[in-house]
Amino acid sequence: MQTQIHFENPKAIDYTIYIDELAPHHFARKVAIVTNPKVAGLHLGTLLEKITADERYIITVPDGEAYKNQQTLDLILENLFNHRFDRGSLLIAFGGGVIGDMTGFAASIFQRGIDFIQVPTTLLSQVDASVGGKTGINNSYGKNLIGAFYQPKAVYIETDFLKTLPAREFGAGVAEIVKMAVTFDADFFAYLEKADLHEKEALAKTIRKSVETKARVVGEDEKEKGIRAVLNYGHTFGHVIENLTGYRRFLHGEAVAIGMVMANALAMRLGLLEKDEATRIEALLQKYNLPTRFTVTDPDAFYEGFFLDKKTQNASVKFILPKGIGDFEIVKDLDRELVIDVLKEFSL
């Protein structure tokens, strides 16, 4: 299966997202595969059977969000300099979203930009992070605050890699899938309610559908000036939850799941969503054991948390809310008291 990402911006270069089509390929150039010890231990052998190159290097960096930083970026870049990589060389990101974001960013700045390919190995990175060209690293001020929009040359999604993914990581990916269905596609949502994503065919179909949605949205709005922001449904609340819990208690997708439930409560308050629709969304998240509740002990402090997000522009919080199932509304300049009141629903 293949999906094309076509950019409306004529300066951006279209590329293909291949699903379960990774065929043997020889690159007549220097190639570095950037990965971590966990992914390498599980799947590098499979990748190396497929990908050969004139010169092929493996750059292994430590695993985890805590290492998505300047130091690891430097490690990647130093490897490239040591091996005399040049403008014609290629990077391959082989891992989850952390590896993908960091490798993409390294590719964007090495000698002002070299080619890179995404081979995502988590569900979250297959349906979301690997497509769309957001790359970057974290620093002490927050997540993804240093980075670039830099598109890969291609994305190769292999669903077999997901067989080794821990259940919680799988669920985190489902949250991002639900996000896309709720905001853009009622039929897809209804399909997800019936499907079992642990079945290979249903999973491949779901990944394709999610990737198509993401590709369409990003193709229309590469730099998030408009509709791409809809992909942040659940994230405005989710980021505050991650922040309040020190990025330790929940995986990103888990915080997004709770964030969607909170956004739904706000949408209901504004008459955008019916109670039974909110119940259906929560039930779908729970089907994959995602958390859907978080106790807001201090609604005022939670509210202040919205302003730490880089997406909160000019001190006005922008909420992405579902309008029924399959559509969305972007709501700005809401009364502080109204939002606090909704947060209080979660304080028990």
Ligand X SMILES: NC(=O)c1ccc[n+]([C@@H]2O[C@H](COP(=O)([O-])OP(=O)(O)OC[C@H]3O[C@@H](n4cnc5c(N)ncnc54)[C@H](O)[C@@H]3O)[C@@H](O)[C@H]2O)c1
- Candidate residues 252, 257, 264, 272; the one interacting with ligand X per rule CB under 6 A: 252
Give the DSSP letter string of 143-206.
EEEEEEE---SEEEE-GGGGGGS-HHHHHHHHHHHHHHHHHH-HHHHHHHHH--TTSHHHHHHH
Residue of 158, 176, 254, 277 marked catalytic:
176
31 DSSP β-pair partners: 56, 90
Query: To the nearest whole angstrom, how small is the minimum distance from the Cβ of residue 130 to ligand X?
Result: 8
The DSSP letter of residue 13 is P
> Which among 31-39, 242-250, 286-294, 327-335 is the span making contact with ligand X, rule CB under 6 A?
31-39
Query: To the nearest whole angstrom, how small is the minimum distance from the Cβ of residue 18 to ligand X?
Result: 17
**What is the spatial distance between Cα 19 and Cα 263, in angstroms, rounded to a whole number?**
32
CB distance 347 to 302 below 8 Å: no
Give the helix/strand (H/E) hosting 116: strand 115-120
| CA 106 to chain CA centroid, nearest Å | 18
**What is the spatial distance between Cα 319 and Cα 20, in angstroms, rounded to a whole number?**
36
- Candidate residues 92, 172, 207, 290; the one interacting with ligand X per rule CB under 6 A: 172
Of residues 132 through 171, those in contact with ligand X by CB under 6 A are 132, 134, 143-144, 161-162, 164-165, 169
Tell me, residue by residue from 47 to 66, as one string, x for binding to ligand X by CB under 6 A and - for no binding. Answer: ----------------x-x-
Interaction between residue 101 and ligand X (CB under 6 A): yes
- Candidate residues 5, 53, 80, 124; the one interacting with ligand X per rule CB under 6 A: 124
DSSP percent split of the chain into helix, strand, coil, nearest 5: 50, 20, 30
Q: For ligand X, give the closer residue by CB, 84 or 248.
A: 248
Nearest-CA neighbor of 138 among 65, 59, 76?
A: 65
Q: Is-catalytic flag, 158? A: no
Interaction between residue 39 and ligand X (CB under 6 A): yes
Interaction between residue 20 and ligand X (CB under 6 A): no
Q: Residues interacting with ligand X, by CB under 6 A?
A: 36, 38-39, 42, 63, 65, 68, 95-99, 101, 121-122, 124-125, 128-129, 132, 134, 143-144, 161-162, 164-165, 169, 172, 252
Which residues are part of the catalytic machinery? Answer: 112, 134, 176, 214, 224, 228, 232, 235, 239, 252
